[in-house]
Each structure stands twice: as C-alpha cells, then as structure tokens.
Amino acid sequence: MMRRWLCNRFVGLLPPTRFYRQKAALWRLAGVDAAADARLTSSVEIWTNGRVSIGSDSFVGHQTLLIGGMAEIAIGARCDIGPRVTLVTGTHEDGGKERAAGEGKSLPITIGDGVWIGANATVLGGVEIGEGTIIGAGSLVNRSIPPYSVAAGIPCRVIRQRAVAHA
C-alpha cells in the first residue's frame, strides 16, 4: 500500500494529460497492471490493496477514484472512464441492531472491453459491466449490466441495447 500511496502523490505532481506512458510505468511500479498505452490522468487515485488492471488504449479521467479492499478491479481494453467516476469494491454485511455496518467485505468490479462510463458515475463491488456498454453520467451501478447496453440512473437500469450489438 505504501507504493500506491507514493505513486498517488508523485503522479499528482505531473501535468494532467501528458506523460501517459510514464504514468502507466509508475503505476506498474506500484503494483497496478496498467497497459503501456493506458492513459491515466494525474488526478486519478488508487486506494485499494486488491489487484487493479487497466487494459490497452483505455482512458481514466480526472479525479477518478478506485477504492476498496482486496477485491480485483479489472478495466478492459479501449475503455473510456469519465471524470470523477468512483469504483468502490468495499462494503459491509448487515451488522444488526447495534451497528448497521457489520463485518467489512470486498467484491470485485469487472469492466469489459470498449465500455464508456460517464462523469460522476459510481460503480459498486460485485458488478460486471459487459463489453461495449455505455453508462450515463451520474449513475449508480449497483448491479451487473449486459454487453452492448445503454444504462443510466440511480439505481442504474438498462435503457436500451446498442444497435452495434447486432451489426
């Protein structure tokens, strides 16, 4: 975790949308499996002990936060993650009467190839977003979304299937 802390601090000093290859290399030194051509802006923060992978030609926007416990966060190839998106793997069991938040747990997040997630969306643990899906800005994704969907809302719901799925 210390390597990720240092990387969060150091990468934040670099120009926001420059030196992408160098930033990806720094994140790899911190234990993140970032493709050499992944583009992470300088304000991305990764605060998780779990495995994090970011696929080839993916973009992760300003002030995006990856946070949680030991569960994996996997971002596929050719994804576009908008600004201020939050990916949260951590949650709690129901703690009962005395304390609502019980024992902590961590659930994985899987984002398929070619996904676009709009600004300020939140993706919770246990969710898989299928390839080619578009998630609308401001959405709360608390359940898995099938491939080639357009989904939005709080909670996030499928609005329609993308025509490209049938091409």
The predicted-structure confidence for 24-68, as pLDDT tens digits, reads as follows 999 999 999 999 999 999 999 999 999 999 999 999 999 999 999
Q: What is the pTM of this model?
A: 0.94
64/83 Cα distance (integer angstroms): 6
pLDDT at 138 over 60: yes
Q: Residue 92 has which token pair? A: 């709690």
Which tens digits make up the pLDDT trace of 146-156? 999 999 999 99
Q: What CA–CA distance (Å, rounded) separates 159 from 35?
A: 32
- Per-residue pLDDT tens over the stretch 3-30: 888 888 889 888 888 999 999 999 999 9
pLDDT at 79: 99
Q: Phi and psi dihedrals of 165, rounded to 5?
A: -65, -25
Dist. CA 63–CA 121, nearest whole Å: 12
92 classed as catalytic: yes
Second CATH level (architecture) for the domain 2-166 = 3 Solenoid (2.160)
N-to-C CA span, the chain: 44
Active-site hit among 9, 92, 157, 160: 92
Query: What is the distance between the alpha carbons of residues 39 and 22, in angstroms, rounded to a whole number?
Result: 10
Task: Return the sign of the alpha-carbon dihedral for residues 21, 25, 30, 33.
Answer: positive
Report the chain's mean pLDDT, rounded to a whole number: 95
Could you report the per-residue pLDDT of 106-134, keeping only the tens digit for each?
Answer: 999 999 999 999 999 999 999 999 999 99
Q: Going by C-beta distance under 8 Å and a sequence separation of 6 or more, which residues neighbour residue 35? A: 24, 54, 55, 56, 57, 58, 77
